[in-house]
A and B are shown apart, each in its own frame.
Chain A
Amino acid sequence: MKPFDIVIVGGGGSGLYAAMEAMKTNPNLNIAVLSKVYPNRSHTSAAQGGANAALANKAKDDTVEMHIFDTIKGSDYLADQDAVEVLCSEAPKIIRELDNMGTPWSRMDDKTIAQRPFGGAGRPRCCYCADKTGHTILQTLYEQCLRKGVFFFNEYFALDLSLDGSRSRGLIAMNMKTGKVEAFPAKTVIFATGGYAKMYWNRSSNAAGNTGDGQAIAYRAGIPLKDMEFVQFHPTGLRKSGLLVTEGARGEGGYLVNAEGERFMKRYAPEKMELGPRDLVSRSLETEILEGRGFDSPAGKYLHLDLRHLGADIIKSRLPQIREMCMYFEGVDPIEEPVPVRPTAHYSMGGIDTDNFGRTIMEGVYAAGECGCVSVHGANRLGGNSLLDILVFGRITGRAAAEEAGKFNPSAIPASEVTDKEQELRSFMQPRGHYERYGTLREDLGHTLGANVGIFREASKIKQGIADIESLQDRFQHVRVFDTGDIYNTNLLQVLELKNMLDLSETVAEGALSREESRGSHTRTDFPTRDDEKWHKHTIYTYEGGRPKLAYKPVTMGRYELQERTY
């Protein structure tokens, strides 16, 4: 079988952009996109708020430099400054490109693309389509990929990189519809599988499938991960489901209010108030709850996001999806009542360690989007920068892989690799005396991570978390797959996803324990301040003997010196 030039794993924003750009770069390439869901189902669709770009449509004095500075400051100076420069200077171009291919951006009176304020940004530079920005971007990219004839393998679940020594020769994946394990020999592989924040399970806003599959595959194949301890909690998850109320709701002017009726953000970020950066706002909510100023309910303690003063017109026209979600999942109409919210795990800053072109240390293997870590978000991502990240670096990585595919001449994937994998998967279905259900393990993992490696962390708790994960790994050995069929075996799929989450959770917890400082989303109550002397560096994780081995890497600096981060 002739190898593919590029196999892209993941059909969200970065995977689709990479596919499109690769085809534009060289139309003769043989490109395949593998996705475990139909691409239009990808979690990019859930991004509500928008994408930042210094178009200066709204604030005429906005500049790329200001966007760069806001992003670096927002990252708590852990972002690599050269990467941030790429992100922000490419931003206006990418937003216009999306417009040129049909994304229905909301418009201003002068017919240009509308922009709104977002947390941590000095100017209103977040481009949006009502509160369905990610959805419309994903639809546009999927439509354009159909137009260009991109070859999709829908509902294929990636299992392993096939390695020839320390080199990749392609991918092993399972076809969900037949249950067959198939080999995808490839000159280059791009991982674009999204984030890993679903490991927090019920305390996560993520889709059920955001289980870090690409990161886990790369990690187990010896490719280093970076900055995994940085997990962003979004301040406003719905109380019952953890589902997200966009930052756009605060961008439009929503208030956060405690049980004493106080707009408490004035005590934490007097200037920016509700539009402080996410890590700070999440900590503020958590503190209010811990100090007893939250509301109480059977579904847990919470605070209020009050939108009522915006009026029915604004809520209906700019936040229609949010209103729908509040009604479906909380039974609350934000026009009439405040929305019950609490912080929810939302975004993974960490991921596969890449350079500014999406390259990993393994030749021919790339990563982009939330799956990769360039790093542009450092210790804390700004709202509106994640859609931007997947677009900009999806595009750059697609082009890099297209230009470099010709350099690689992978050996064939031996047939035994496929049959061995089939055997391994079958072994989950063997009856066993004592067995575990994956559903219970998944909930327990989310619970211990939320309690011990959540917003506020300290050594003793994190150690408890690590011990819990270890025991969950042991229990995983006894997980049984009851569905013994081949066709569309979601029982097996979810067990494999659980294994990915378990392996990655070790890196999150170990990284959190080792980093003895507070920076961005990582808050150690036993080390409450940022310690630049010791910790102004990236954490790097390598898989050794089934465990993460930690090392460190300097942060690339540039124009901006380290400063205290206040809002």
Chain B
Amino acid sequence: MSDSTIQHHEESRDVTFRVHRFNPQVDSKPYFDDYTIKLEKGITVLRALGYIKEHVDSTLTFRAFCQAGICGSCAMRINNMSKLACTTQVWDELDKAREPGVIKIEPLRNLPHIKDLVVEMDPVVGKMKKYSNWVDSRMPEEEWGKKEFLVSEEEFQAYDKATDCILCASCVSECTILRAHKEYVSPVVLLRSFRMNADSRDGIHDQRLAGLVQDHGVWDCTHCYRCQETCVKNIPIMDAIHGIREDAIERRGTKDTSGARHAEAFMDDIEKKGRLVEATLPIRTNGIGWTLKNLLPMAFKMILKRRTPPPPPLVKASKGIQSLRKELKEMASHVAKDHEKKSGE
């Protein structure tokens, strides 16, 4: 039954793991090592890596702990997607491999690299601190332990799914905004902020929200949905991000920050014309002063290159606006159904 004698071949084959290697002490740049081992069906990527470390190359470095999908240590990029090695079946990955029989293994992206498949997690912890990702109890500490809060099933449901998060940082690794701006709050911290803000026991909702609407905060997300597609616990992270935005608009109004104003301008345009009135979008988002100061040189360049958006009066309502709205409605219901399906799986 030991790893070294993987036998009882129900189905077995040679599999190559093409692993990203880098030890800053000796390597000037990263490279890939190929390890080809014979494996039987039903084995996870983590167990395969463990076999390589124990029997082929003990210098191969990766994190692993619980081996059961709950501690979040072994997140890595497997065939270009961030996921947990311990819950990923080798055979499933073989189906997705670009080169037959070869599984590519890389470290998570968007976090500083330490060695081989190990990345620095401190930036995630730093952002959890920055955005107060904890319940700051309404009850003074001296009173703790005396009586329980009453919490309704409805409230519990609001954050139940979010508390599944194991901080594996797969969503961080796939986030397209973080690739451009490492200061960006990150999907995981937005998710956890949402969870704290939905908790009636917490007493700093407004303060946390005020932090979230600042630069590099909740309005920087471009809704690419990569985080949600990636999440190893199937948490609807985008619902949390939308939840924070709705909450921000509800409590702080649409004039609060450029993010809120931008969202309002978008909404306005879609409702009225079914398309964006781009010429005035910067003004409506950031005001006339900011626009003149920051965008005027670019506007001249655009005029020279004849790339200016049409002036507002020339933006007519789209012909198919009725059917567009219908389609939007259908799309929304599809998304809702997907969520339902995903959470039911």
Contact = CB atoms under 8 A, between A and B. Distances in A.
Interface of A: 24, 37-38, 40-43, 45-46, 55, 93-97, 99-102, 104-107, 109-113, 129-130, 132, 135-136, 139-140, 143-144, 146-147, 154, 177, 202, 207-209, 240-241, 243-244, 298-300, 316, 321, 324-325, 328-329, 331, 437-440, 443, 447, 481-483, 485-491
A309 to B, nearest CB: 20
Nearest to A205: B68
A328 B69 contact: yes
A106 B159 CA distance: 11
A437 B59 CA distance: 12
Given A328-B87, A481-B58, A100 B2 contact: no
Contacts, number: 197
Contact of A485 (B4, B59, B69, B125): B59
Interface of B: 1-4, 8, 10, 23-26, 42, 44, 50, 53-55, 57-59, 61-73, 87, 89, 114-116, 118, 121-122, 125, 128-129, 132-137, 139, 141, 143-153, 156, 159-160, 163-167, 196, 199, 201-202, 344
B134 to A, nearest CB: 4
11 contacts: A41-B73, A46-B70, A97-B145, A111-B152, A132-B70, A139-B165, A146-B129, A202-B2, A437-B54, A439-B55, A440-B4
Contact of A243 (B3, B67, B122, B163): B67
Nearest to B68: A243
Contacts of A243: 67-68
A489 B114 CA distance: 11
Q: What are the 3 A-B residue pairs with the smallest beta carbon separation, nearest first?
A: A439-B54, A102-B135, A298-B8
A96 B147 contact: yes
Nearest to B124: A38
B25 A486 contact: yes
A438 B57 CA distance: 12
B145 A443 contact: no
A154 B73 CA distance: 13
Given A208-B64, A491-B59, A107 B71 contact: no
A321 B70 contact: yes
A46 B66 contact: yes
A243 B44 CA distance: 14
| Of B115, B135, B145, B152, most A-chain CB atoms within 10 Å | B145
Nearest to A41: B71
B136 A100 contact: no
A234 to B, nearest CB: 13
B145 A143 contact: no
Contact of A147 (B61, B125, B132, B147): B132
Nearest to A321: B70
Nearest to A312: B344
Contacts of A146: 125, 128-129, 133-134
Given A41-B72, A100-B137, A208-B65, A106 B146 contact: no
Contacts of A481: 58
A489 B125 CA distance: 23
Contact of A130 (B139, B160, B196): B160
A496 to B, nearest CB: 14
Contacts of A113: 148
B66 A99 contact: no
B156 A485 contact: no
Contacts of A443: 2-4
A300 B7 CA distance: 12
Contacts of A109: 153
Contacts of B57: 482
A96 B71 contact: no
Given A37-B65, A104-B156, A146-B129, A135 B166 contact: yes
Contacts of A139: 163, 165
B145 A100 contact: yes
A490 B62 contact: yes
B166 A241 contact: no
A12 B313 CA distance: 63
A447 B2 contact: yes
Nearest to A43: B66
Given A147-B132, A488-B114, A440 B54 contact: yes
Contacts of B125: 38, 146
B67 A241 contact: yes
B65 to A, nearest CB: 5
B141 A132 contact: no
B129 to A, nearest CB: 5
Nearest to B7: A298
Contacts of A38: 73, 121, 125, 167
A144 B136 CA distance: 8
A443 B152 CA distance: 48
